[in-house]
Amino acid sequence: MRVARSLLLVAMLPLFAACQLLDGPDESASQSGQTRMQGQLTAADGKLLFQPCNEQRSYVINDTGGTSVLQEAATLADARGKLFADVRGRIVADGADNRLDLQQLYRVERSGSACDEPDFKKLILRAAGHGPEWNVKVSAKGMIIERAGQPPLAVPYVEEQLGDGRFNLSTEANKQHIELWVAPQRCVDSKTGSVQHMSAELRIDGKVQRGCGYFGGSRDD
């Protein structure tokens, strides 16, 4: 549990970061020079470190966007202390340390294989939920809907922007009206505890199933 405690201590250290949480990220902040990255989170010497997938170098996280990554990591950390994170930020050379100025947190989860997620770069959006299980993968080619006890359904879709970052994907298939409603809101997966940056609702003929979602590699909002 030593590493888990380290993450908890890291989360409690910076009062400045806690103040940032109250304000939330600055949505008007320029994305110039920022990069979408996936990798591993660990704690060492009172710092939270990010190691990009397939790289040896680690970066000290500076939560400039008020993403709450410190608290999320502390909540999810287990005895192994390793977490997967999907983020956007700017890498800065800062003396002996290389720093990641973190602006956007897409997801944090306990996973040893997320770096190898198939088709991530082709995905626009992925959303999923439980009770019963459902999963939706959205790409430029269409939307694939998987539900417990049902065969996968591949359909085209129409996207409607609703303002404030919210949008709706809709389609008609097999005499069913299908909609996926998505909103930019912190969402915790009820089964895995993973934290994602969007809430999602799958609506089929008026029946609603709730879950979480995140942008894939082909949508870089």
Q: What is the reported pLDDT for 147? A: 95
**How far is residue 127's CA from residue 196's CA, in Å, rounded to a whole number?**
10
Beta bridge partners of 25: none
Position 79 scores a pLDDT of 55
DSSP letters spanning 11-53: HHS-HHHHHHHHH---TTS--TT-EEEEEEEEEETTEEEEEET
Domain count, the chain: 2
Domain membership flag for residue 201 = yes
* Same domain? 7 vs 108: yes
Residue 31 backbone dihedrals phi, psi, to 5 degrees: -95, 5
**Is 221 within a domain?**
no
Shared domain for 87 and 130, answered yes or no, is no
User: Looking at the structure, do residues 90 and 153 belong to the same domain, yes or no?
Assistant: no
Exposed / middle / buried, residue 113 (Cβ in 10 Å: 0-12, 13-18, 19+): exposed
- Structural domain of 146: 120-215
In this prediction, the residues of the chain whose per-residue pLDDT falls under 50 are 1-29
Within-domain flag for 220: no
Q: What is the DSSP letter of 157?
A: -
- Residue 73 falls inside a structural domain: yes
> Strand 187-188 vs strand 158-163: parallel, antiparallel, or unpaired?
unpaired
Tell me: the pLDDT tens digits for 124-160? 999 999 989 999 999 999 999 999 999 999 999 999 9
185 in any annotated domain = yes
Last-in-domain residue among 116, 139, 155: 116
Q: Which of 140, 220, 143, 141 is nearest to 180 (CA)?
A: 143
